Amino acid sequence: MTDAQNIQERRARCAPHLARLRLLAGPGAGEPFLPAVADEIGQEISLILAEADAAARAVVAAAAGTRRDAVAGFLGVRLARLASAARETTDAAKEADTAVLHRKLHRFEALTSAMWTVEQATSGQLSAARRPGRVARGPA
């Protein structure tokens, strides 16, 4: 399996978790929210973070020795931002504040999508750099 296929597979595994998050967040602002749902939201978010982290580790492992630290730092900052959004989303769920939860969930989804895009692009650039006669541009 290529790096790009690995990332695509991990991204596909997250789609049902993201859909479930939307369902769990459920009602609109001001609507009743069951506090027990917060644990399920936290579990779904943890599964998404684990997939994003595993994909990032695979991209870093594929980087050439001198680029590895730069790629690790580049993706690490984005993972930290995603993890922060995950904590904020989970906290909003625990507080049963649907208005804040919807805002935080929207941000988490946007950062998750951005993470997959960055991982895919970085993987593609690293693959291009490994091919003879090709010059890759991007993070390094």
CA 35/CA 96 separation, integer angstroms = 6
Per residue in 31-55, pLDDT tens?
A: 666 778 889 999 999 999 999 999 9
Per residue in 42-90, pLDDT tens?
A: 999 999 999 999 999 988 988 878 888 999 999 999 999 999 999 999 9
CA 58/CA 126 separation, integer angstroms = 12
